[in-house]
Amino acid sequence: MEHEKVIKEEQQGTALVTDLTPGNSKKLFIESYGCQMNMNDSEIVASILAKEGYNTTQKLEDADLVLVNTCSIRDKAEQTIRKRLVYYNRIKEINPSMKVGVLGCMAERLKSKFLEEEKIVDLVVGPDAYRDLPNLVQEVTEGRDAVNVILSKDETYGDVSPVRLNSNGVSAFVSITRGCDNMCTFCVVPFTRGRERSRDPKSILEEIKDMADRNYKEITLLGQNVDSYLWYGGGLKKDFKKASEIAQQTAVDFAQLLDMCAVSFPKIRFRFSTSNPQDMSMSVIHTMAKHKNICKYIHLPIQSGSTTILKRMNRQHTREEYLSLVENIRKIIPDCALSQDMITGFCGETEEDHKQTLSLMEKVKYDFGFMFAYSERPGTLAAKKYEDDVPLEVKKRRLTEIINLQQKHSLYRTQQHVGKVEEVLIEGTSKKSDTHWKGRNTQNTVIVFPKEHYKLGDFVMVKVESCTSATLIGKAVGYSENN
Binding site for ligand F3S (CB under 6 A): 180, 182-184, 187, 189-190, 224-225, 276
Q: Which of 301/474 has CB closer to ligand SAH?
A: 301
Residue 73 found at the interface with ligand SAH (CB under 6 A): yes
The secondary structure of the chain in percent helix, strand, coil, rounded to multiples of 5, reads 40, 25, 40
Distances (CA, A) of 120 to 56, 74, 130: 22, 21, 20
Residue 377 binds which entry of ligand SAH, ligand F3S, none, CB below 5-8 Å type-dependent: ligand SAH
Residue 74 binds which entry of ligand SAH, ligand F3S, none, CB below 5-8 Å type-dependent: ligand SAH
Residue 301 found at the interface with ligand SAH (CB under 6 A): yes
Please identify, among the stretches 9-17, 102-110, 204-212, 371-379, the one whose residues bind ligand SAH according to the rule CB under 6 A: 371-379
Residue 410 binds which entry of ligand SAH, ligand F3S, none, CB below 5-8 Å type-dependent: none
> Please, which of residues 322-351 interact with ligand SAH by CB under 6 A?
341, 343
Strand 421-429 relative to strand 459-467, pairing: antiparallel
Residue 224 found at the interface with ligand SAH (CB under 6 A): yes
Closest by Cα among 93, 38, 100 to 63: 100
Residue 374 found at the interface with ligand SAH (CB under 6 A): yes
Q: Is the peptide bond preceding residue 468 cis, with omega within 30 degrees of 0?
A: no
Cβ atoms 196, 128 nearer than 8 A: no
Q: Which of 343/467 has CB closer to ligand SAH?
A: 343
Cβ atoms 170, 457 nearer than 8 A: yes
Residue 189 found at the interface with ligand SAH (CB under 6 A): yes
Least gap, CB of 436 to ligand F3S (angstroms): 36
Q: Which of 380/443 has CB closer to ligand F3S?
A: 380
Instruction: Report the run of H or E that residue 447 belongs to, with start and end.
Output: strand 446-450
Residue 283 binds which entry of ligand F3S, ligand SAH, none, CB below 5-8 Å type-dependent: none
Residue 403 binds which entry of ligand SAH, ligand F3S, none, CB below 5-8 Å type-dependent: none
β partners of residue 67: 30, 101
Residue 73 binds which entry of ligand SAH, ligand F3S, none, CB below 5-8 Å type-dependent: ligand SAH
Provide the terminal-to-terminal Cα distance of the chain, rounded to the nearest Å: 32
Closest by Cα among 327, 326, 318 to 275: 326
Give the CA diameter of the chain. Answer: 64
Distances (CA, A) of 426 to 48, 168, 413: 31, 10, 21
Residues that bind ligand SAH (CB under 6 A): 73-74, 186-187, 189, 224-225, 274, 301, 303, 341, 343, 372, 374-375, 377
